[in-house]
Amino acid sequence: DTGVSQNPRHKITKRGQNVTFRCDPISEHNRLYWYRQTLGQGPEFLTYFQNEAQLEKSRLLSDRFSAERPKGSFSTLEIQRTEQGDSAMYLCASSFPEQGVIGYTFGSGTRLTVV
Amino acid sequence: AQSVTQLGSHVSVSEGALVLLRCNYSSSVPPYLFWYVQYPNQGLQLLLKYTSAATLVKGINGFEAEFKKSETSFHLTKPSAHMSDAAEYFCAVSRTSGTYKYIFGTGTRLKVLA
């Protein structure tokens, strides 16, 4: 399977715990995006990497959130001290540099439930 | 700034009927426009995209959309609905350079009635 892979698919955690999600993009895609989708809403942009460089972060990404993409390959999204409002689907996507011609490829997402 | 409005959070059509899902955008610069489909508990799949070439865009599964600059619209249509089309559909806009981050609409859930 050469698609975008996200793990885990589901995560249930207690409020206040830290969680980390992983995204493995399509290998030749150098752009990687994280989005968050809450129930009944469209996905909202969180952050963007070009290779290993994090080039843009949304103001939605509070200081409890951190994302990395070491060596420009897989990426991790960590949420510290989770809150109930963090419950959402976290989507990763990747693309070629000329994204406008291709469009993103999305992963299946990680659904986070904070109890 | 860019934004997307999808009129109708829920649309129901009979199997075999025309599907019309509405999307209006706002953008201070020429945009790229996309339609994605999402099945339950899955990620988003690209249906079609407008990237400033032909204004009538054909996508997968028999869907098409027409870019109308004068109306700032990019409505999605399919001549004949199938049961398998039942899903949530998202319209998105992005700039044509830079990060290419998407601004999504709130989605339209399509229900197909037998």
- List, for residues A39-97, the tens digit of each pLDDT value: 889 999 999 999 999 999 998 888 999 999 998 899 999 999 999 999 999 999 998 87
Note whether A55 contacts B: Cβ–Cβ < 8 A.
Answer: yes
Higher pLDDT, B77 or B40: B77
Query: Count of CB contacts below 8 A, A vs B?
Result: 63
Neighboring chain B residues of A51 at a CB cutoff of 8 Å: none
A42/B105 touch (CB, cutoff 8 Å), yes or no: yes
Q: Longest Cα pair distance anywhere in chain B, in angstroms?
A: 45
